[in-house]
Structure 1
Amino acid sequence: MNSHESLHSLAAKRRRMAQPQRVHKFGEGVLADIARLCMNDLYSDVSFFVEDQRISGHCAILATRCEYFRAMLFGGFTEERQIRLPEVPLEAFKVILGYLYSGTMSISTLDVDAILQVLSLANLYGLPELESVLTETLLENLEVCNVCAILDTARQYSMEDLNMKSLNFIDTNGAQVMEDDFFLMLSKESLEEVLRRDTFIAEELKIFQAVHKWSLHNPDVDIKSVVSLVRLPLIKVEDLVSTVRRSGIVDPNNIFDVIDKATKPENLPYRARQSPGVDVALWVTRSIVTKSEILIELSFWHMINYINIAGLRNSTYILDCIVEISCDMTHWVNLGSFTFSIPTKMFVTFARRPVRFIRIKQLSRKNYFKDITISALLSTDT
């Protein structure tokens, strides 16, 4: 080859290198071939015994796809090629193998119980990609009938996001969750976490009755620490004397101390929902209006720290009134007497606290309440 040909060949080579490289990918075919080896005796070099069923495996594939199996099969701890997995659920293990061999999983074919079992194995085997997808699926399918099982799983494997969103769901659906049979299977640790929450909204007597029922279903569990989280002073005195005392899970000698606390309104430990910036007066279940008084009952106990009273634009008058708030319609907190000119807005501010009832008493004889609007909120900066 002369020098001219050599230069021409070099230039052509450079042009080819400068052009985008065309790579043909045949990944789907490769995955399909590997997937066919899943639980197949062909070329198998390891056997797993799960629920007394033998399942064939391939060490190279499993070790390449999963660090857990790499340590198990090539970690130097054992050369055994017949491995028993006594605590592993069979169907969940098959799903995991299918994922490792094919890189796919049909989650839509799994119910929540199956997803929880697969999730536990994904956590054990260190498969974060799979954990993430399964967690998202559970969050999309949170329901009263499955949230307790999901919460227990989230706590067991320290899945913080799933744990918190399960707790938030229980907060807002407390009454229904406690009535569901699966509530009785909630672990003691999860039950205590639910009861500690100030945002777990339900009648305290209902909470006590649910705890009592849970204790009967779990007779071998020490119930004292659970009962200590029920806010007994929030229960009416007559129910303390009858329902609580007769249950046998509260020391009768403590009932009198509880009654004493219940009769004092100061610092009662009410549970309350927090919705910063939301007008919770719009969530009323009942609003009673007379010539001298407005009584608003909110749908739940809410944390608020100001009430806004506003008049209609086409009205002009002076409004004198007293504003009171309460959690039980027995103990009322007087926020003071106020005078303002309608239609000017009046803000009644106070330290943030749980509220269930708002009562506004008009001091003048004429009925102006038909011309005003009420809103109750928690500041967004609290």
Structure 2
Amino acid sequence: MSAHESHRGAVCEGQCGEVSMRVEVPLKTFKVILGYFYSGTLAISTLNVDEVFEVLELGNLYILPEVELALAKRLQNNLSISNTCMILDTARKFNHAELTMKCLKFMDKNAHQVLKHQSFQMLSKESLEEVLRRDTLIEHEIDVFKAVVKWSRHNQGVDIKSVVSLVRLSLISVEDLVLVVRPSGIVESLKILDAIEKPIIKSILPYRAHVSPGVDVAFHFGCSVEVIKDEIVIKLSFWCIINIISIEVIQNTNDTSNCTVEVSCDMTHWDGVGNIDLSTPTQQDIHFTRMPVRFIRIVDPESGRKDVLNYCLLKAVLNNTIP
């Protein structure tokens, strides 16, 4: 037999012979899948999150969509501060859109705790970018930036330019830009200067905000009445997207009647959204284009007074509805 024929035989044997694939699977995980093959039911009620991950991976390997769906539902019902980052990475890995969205919404509402948890540093770069793109991530931007810095230190060697670009620097105070962002060394000086300039020339910035249709956000998320110089304003606990302000005049006032309701995100740029009549005790609704709001005040256009809240004894209630 020639060398050429010998080579053909070896190749044929390698190509045509029996091929086996060995996958290391924990016994408990394998028993769950084996039980499903025999009975059509999944015994997953006693599985912890790590074991659910193992079964999910095996279900994906064997192309069992009904198993993946059941396990994804279980993970949805067991989201927590400590596991949501891991579950998000897993959901994206196996293309589970519903589970991915559940994780993102959970992180939106619990961002303050999730971003500070150690597991956040284990998040994949792709998942981190998806989180940072969200307008509904409820956390102050300086704390978002600090979380990104910690993530970058834990993931050294990863190109973080695309990650840093998703931090909304214009929402960070000048003081924090100078004392926190600049010393980190991960943001170019020109971008810091741009971030300082943008709030001066623009009234609309890319605020992250609560979006809660039909919810009285002033009551649900909390608000306070604050005196700032000669102004009395209602300050929401965080930015909220709203399009209705309902004001109840509890006691009429003789020295002012028609006033303007104004809203702001930064106490610098104010927008008038409607007028109210303070001469008669009544509830009045003001409808306007949905926008992010943090501060509310009432201004007497004739006298210029901005302390009307103190004298009119009125109550502001906010409702957020889809237009």
Q: In which range does the TM-score fall when normalised by the shorter chain?
A: 0.7 to 0.9
Residue number in structure 1 paired with 2:155: 218
Give the alignment partner of residue 287 of structure 2, picking from 344, 349, 372: 349
Residue number in structure 2 paired with 1:256: 193
Task: Please tell me whether the aligned partners of residues 144 and 180 of structure 1 are also in contact (alpha carbons under 8 angstroms).
Answer: yes
Tell me, which stretches of 5 or more residues in structure 1 are unaligned? 1-75
Residue number in structure 2 paired with 1:20: none
Matched, 1:379 2:317: no
Residue number in structure 2 paired with 1:324: 262
Residue number in structure 2 paired with 1:230: 167
What is the CA distance between 1:91 and its match in structure 2? 4.8
Aligned mates of 2:222, 2:142 — CA distance in 1:
22
Residue number in structure 2 paired with 1:369: 312
What is the CA distance between 1:348 and its match in structure 2? 2.9
Alignment of 1:51-90 (within 5 A): 79-80=18-19, 83-85=21-23
Residue number in structure 2 paired with 1:299: 237
Aligned mates of 1:342, 1:265 — CA distance in 2:
37
Aligned mates of 2:317, 2:214 — CA distance in 1:
11
Distance verdict in 2 for CA 1:307–1:215, change over 3 Å:
same
Aligned mates of 2:120, 2:51 — CA distance in 1:
19
What is the CA distance between 1:210 and its match in structure 2? 0.2
Residue number in structure 1 paired with 2:56: 119
Task: Please tell me whether the aligned partners of residues 244 and 286 of structure 2 are also in contact (alpha carbons under 8 angstroms).
Answer: yes
Task: Please tell me whether the aligned partners of residues 316 and 343 of structure 1 are also in contact (alpha carbons under 8 angstroms).
Answer: no
Aligned mates of 1:159, 1:320 — CA distance in 2:
54
* RMSD, aligned CA: 2.7
Counterpart residue identity of residue 182, structure 1:
S
Aligned mates of 2:320, 2:236 — CA distance in 1:
14
Alignment of 1:259-338 (within 5 A): 259-282=196-219, 283-288=221-226, 294-312=232-250, 319-335=257-273, 338=276
Aligned mates of 2:278, 2:27 — CA distance in 1:
72
Q: Of the two structures, which has the highest relative contact order with CA contacts closer than 8 Å and spacing of 6 or more?
A: 2
What is the CA distance between 1:369 and its match in structure 2? 2.6
Residue number in structure 2 paired with 1:184: 121
Aligned mates of 1:237, 1:319 — CA distance in 2:
39
Aligned mates of 1:254, 1:289 — CA distance in 2:
34
What is the CA distance between 1:153 and its match in structure 2? 0.8
What is the CA distance between 1:296 and its match in structure 2? 1.7
Cα deviation, 1:23-55, whole Å, max 9, x if unaligned, reads: xxxxxxxxxxxxxxxxxxxxxxxxxxxxxxxxx
What is the CA distance between 1:121 and its match in structure 2? 1.6
Aligned mates of 1:97, 1:342 — CA distance in 2:
74
Matched, 1:132 2:80: no
Aligned mates of 1:138, 1:338 — CA distance in 2:
49
Cα deviation, 1:137-169, whole Å, max 9, x if unaligned, reads: 111111111111111111111111111111111
Distance verdict in 2 for CA 1:92–1:266, change over 3 Å:
same
> SS at the partner of 1:137?
helix
Length-normalised TM-score, structure 2: 0.83
Aligned mates of 2:262, 2:26 — CA distance in 1:
59
Task: Please tell me whether the aligned partners of residues 310 and 342 of structure 1 are also in contact (alpha carbons under 8 angstroms).
Answer: no
What is the CA distance between 1:113 and its match in structure 2? 1.4
Cα deviation, 1:194-239, whole Å, max 9, x if unaligned, reads: 1111111100000000001000001121100000000000000111
> SS at the partner of 2:80?
coil
Residue number in structure 2 paired with 1:108: 45
Task: Decide which moves more: 272-281 or 339-348.
Answer: 339-348
What is the CA distance between 1:294 and its match in structure 2? 4.3
Cα deviation, 1:67-116, whole Å, max 9, x if unaligned, reads: xxxxxxxxx98645x64226x56653343233323444432321111111
Give the alignment partner of residue 107 of structure 2, picking from 139, 145, 170: 170
Q: Size of the alignment, in residue pairs? A: 301
Aligned mates of 1:77, 1:214 — CA distance in 2:
48
Length-normalised TM-score, structure 1: 0.71
What is the CA distance between 1:337 and its match in structure 2? 5.6
Aligned mates of 2:197, 2:163 — CA distance in 1:
22
Distance verdict in 2 for CA 1:302–1:121, change over 3 Å:
same
Highest Rg: 1 or 2? Answer: 1
Matched, 1:358 2:317: no
> SS at the partner of 2:45?
helix
What is the CA distance between 1:307 and its match in structure 2? 1.3
Task: Please tell me whether the aligned partners of residues 237 and 262 of structure 1 are also in contact (alpha carbons under 8 angstroms).
Answer: no
> SS at the partner of 1:360?
strand
Aligned mates of 1:186, 1:77 — CA distance in 2:
42
> SS at the partner of 2:163?
helix
Q: Percent identity?
A: 52
Residue number in structure 2 paired with 1:42: none
